Each structure stands twice: as structure tokens, then as C-alpha cells.
Structure 1
Amino acid sequence: MYNLVLLAARPPEWTHEQFIDWWRDDHAALTYRLPGLRAWRHTAIDQALEKRSEGWDGLSVLSFDSPEDLDKALASPEWADAVAQVGNMKGRRIAVMGHEAQLFTG
């Protein structure tokens, strides 16, 4: 799998719960439509393990079969719609891409 990983913090005027609800409902409705999307995992962050990790609300991992499939998704009208919906929310995010390696299954 090739993943797009997004770590995000809510806009200052939103509560954590509002942001997670929006992410998993309104924003999800657009995200599900991305061409080539194979899986999507989302974590609502409840607490930080250490002080330097505080301030984040959620993490999404969007999985595609290949870097080329992710590139197609990022060039799609569906991605443009999702980006437009985020607009000027004033939250923060980190967005990175890379190959997944399965290191352990229980």
C-alpha cells in the first residue's frame, strides 16, 4: 500500500468533538469518493504521550495501491472538492506520503 497520512488540529473556535464529527461525517462524504482509495483509517486523538506531542486532534491514513494511484486521486475533482470544503478553517496539518510496511500482526 501507498499511504497519505494526515495529522490535523482543529480550528481554534471548534471543540475537539466538533472537529472529529465534521471529519468523520461531512468531510468523509467527500473523502470516500476519491478515485483509487482502498482503505481509510482514522484516529481521534484522546491524549498525547508527551508534552511536545500535544495539540493534535486526529490522524487519517488514506491507502492506495501505488504512488501513481495517489497522484491520480490528488489530481481529481474529488480531491479539489475536499480541499475546497476545508477552505480557510485555520486549523493545522501535516501531510506526508509513503510506502507501508506491515511489521506485526497479532
Structure 2
Amino acid sequence: MVVLATRPPEWTREQFTLWWRGEHAEQAKKLPGLQAYRHGEVVFDYDHPEAPEWDGHAVLTFPSRDHLDAALKSPQWAAAVAHVGRMKGKRIVLVTEEADLLLRTAGQPAGEAAT
């Protein structure tokens, strides 16, 4: 799952990053089945260099779609969503299936990992 988000208008970028990596991460890290949780602070936006469209992104990794679906139905997810509250920023949440393109060898079909 990939989340893109902007900060509330009254927050600085630094406040938003500290909040996301600190107290909000403590909520999200409790999700059942969560294998990896990465956060990136947007430091430059090539399409909008003067005013970045987003302030950060998070990538939450689960072993399967079933594990993700179970996490989204969990009380831990409800608590993480409640923690965000009525924040005035915006967000986009995407569910993706990743393929590691560096692991693929020449001639190997997409979707098959090298061993």
C-alpha cells in the first residue's frame, strides 16, 4: 500500500515529517501482518519545483493481499485512522503489486523473480 499525503496548512514540513515518523508511525507499526513500513519526505518535486504537490509518502508492505485486507479491517487500522483525525491535508492511498525490476534477468518475463 502506498500513501501520498500533504501536511495541514498550518504545519511546517518539518512538523509533518516528525509527526508521521514519530507518533503516527507508532500507530501504523501495530498493523497485523505488516512486514515493512517506509516513509519518504518529499525534498524536491520535478513537476512542481516551486511548490511540491506532496509532502511525503509511505509504503506499507504485507505478505499478501489477504494480509493487507485483514489489516484494513483490524482495530489497529481503525486506531491509526482515528489518530489522523480530521487533518486538513490531503492523501491518496493506493494498493499496488510490486515487481523488483532490478532482480529480473534479461529475457525473463515480467512478474517472475530471478532466483
TM-score of the aligned structures, taking structure 1 as reference length: 0.91
TM-superposition CA deviations, 1:44-75 (whole Å, max 9, x none): 00110122882211010000011100000000
Give every structure 1 segment of 4 or more consecutive aligned residues whose post-TM-superposition deviation is greater than 6 Å: none
**Counterpart pick for 1:67 among 50, 56, 65:** 65
Cα drift, residue 92 of structure 1 = 0.4
Aligned length: 102
Which amino acid in 2 is paired with 1:102?
D
Task: Give the gaps of 5 or more residues in structure 2.
Answer: 104-115
Partner of 2:79 in structure 1? 81
**Counterpart pick for 1:25 among 22, 25, 30:** 22
Greater strand share, structure number: 1
Cα drift, residue 25 of structure 1 = 0.3
Partner of 1:7 in structure 2? 4
Percent of aligned pairs sharing the same letter = 51
* Alpha-carbon RMSD: 1.4
Give the secondary structure class of the aligned counterpart of 2:101.
coil
**Counterpart pick for 2:35 among 35, 38, 63:** 38
If asked which structure has higher relative contact order (CA below 8 Å, sep 6+), I would say 1
Matches of 1:13 and 1:89 in 2, distance apart? 10
Give the secondary structure class of the aligned counterpart of 2:95.
strand
Larger Rg: 2
